[in-house]
Amino acid sequence: MERGRLKQARQAAESAVHLSRRDPRAAAEAHLALGVVHEAAASYDAAERCYRRALMLLEGLPDSVRPASRHAEALARVGAICRILGRLREAKALLRRALSLSEQVADQARYDLGARVNELALLCKCTGELDQARRLNARARELLESVLGPTHVDIATLHHNLGGIEHELGRYKEAEKPARRAVAIRISALGPHDPAVAADQVALAAILAERHKYGEAERLYRSALRVFRRAFGPAHYEVAATLDSLAALEYDRARYREAERHYREALALKERLLGPEHAEVALTLNNLALLLAATGRVDQAHALCHEALRLFERGLGKSHPRTLACRTNARDLAALVVR
């Protein structure tokens, strides 16, 4: 949703919140809608407040009139925001509750059930439970394709997510096919300049970079950056994540000055949008540390990597794959500092 449309949508949702304040069920729907707008704008704290207000309103209704599907939606929305903000344990509890509710009415709402399964798959990817994430992704796709068909735009999301899971597993060849499928479906539905298409292209570019297809990967990153900045402005999470990925590609191609500039831009945006303790901040700190080490600034690199490790352990746990990789980097850098 682009900036102009976001403003219009926010105004409409705020009006709905005001008009529905005497009707708890309608007010819950209005708060959910306003939360979606805030989430699209990367205003995650505001989105969480709206979603939690909706959840409170729904849970205040008598069981006989509380719609299970909307209750599950509110739980899932709060859970998804917790995942984005790095509160993974809280996210898991909420998403499991949402899935349980959706399973109770699955015959009437296979789409909702598929959406809940997909959200749990995303969380499992974040927590490093990649085999479980793959199984959940397959279940979600089966459910949603049975309702929507294989070429619906929402199915692109599942291909996108599967590509991301295979990417995390290091299965880059296997990751490329679903990532390309996501781009193709989304372009067919939305055209080439939609932010959702750009997000698919960023995911594909990361896979292509791992397969040393650097030229195509860089073109996709730069195209996506243009789309995100035009749609959202310069201070949005998608801009930060794409800058981080572009910097990693530039690092791999030994373009260290450009890479450092983009890493530092990404770091500043992530700290602003997600807070300085988020695991996404740790990811950029770790990457920047490797670049500083490669350019001879070992002491600075060691300090950044040590901070990244602290954040990974706090946010993801001591046994998460990203934590383990960062710990190895910190150990290697410590040895260089001693020398």
Domain of 287, CATH number, reads 1.25.40
**pLDDT at residue 336, rounded to an integer:** 86
Does 278 map to a domain? yes
Neighbours of 93 (CB within 10 A): 12
Residue 110's pLDDT band (cuts 50, 70, 90): confident
Does 337 map to a domain? yes
**Looking at residues 74-83, what average pLDDT do you find?**
96
Does 14 map to a domain? no
Does 336 map to a domain? yes
Q: What is the mean pLDDT of the chain?
A: 94
**Looking at residues 110-120, what average pLDDT do you find?**
93
Does 330 map to a domain? yes
Give the whole-angstrom CA distance, residue 234 versus residue 238.
9
pTM assigned to the model: 0.86
Does 297 map to a domain? yes
* Overall number of domains in the chain: 1
Closest CA to 314 of 92, 87, 80, 84: 87
Give the whole-angstrom CA distance, residue 256 versus residue 12.
46
Residue 2 clears pLDDT 80, i.e. is over it: no
Residue 275 belongs to domain spanning: 264-339
Does 28 map to a domain? no
Burial class of residue 35 in the structure, from the number of CB atoms within 10 Å of its CB (0-12 exposed, 13-18 middle, 19+ buried):
buried
Give the whole-angstrom CA distance, residue 57 versus residue 31.
9
Does 302 map to a domain? yes
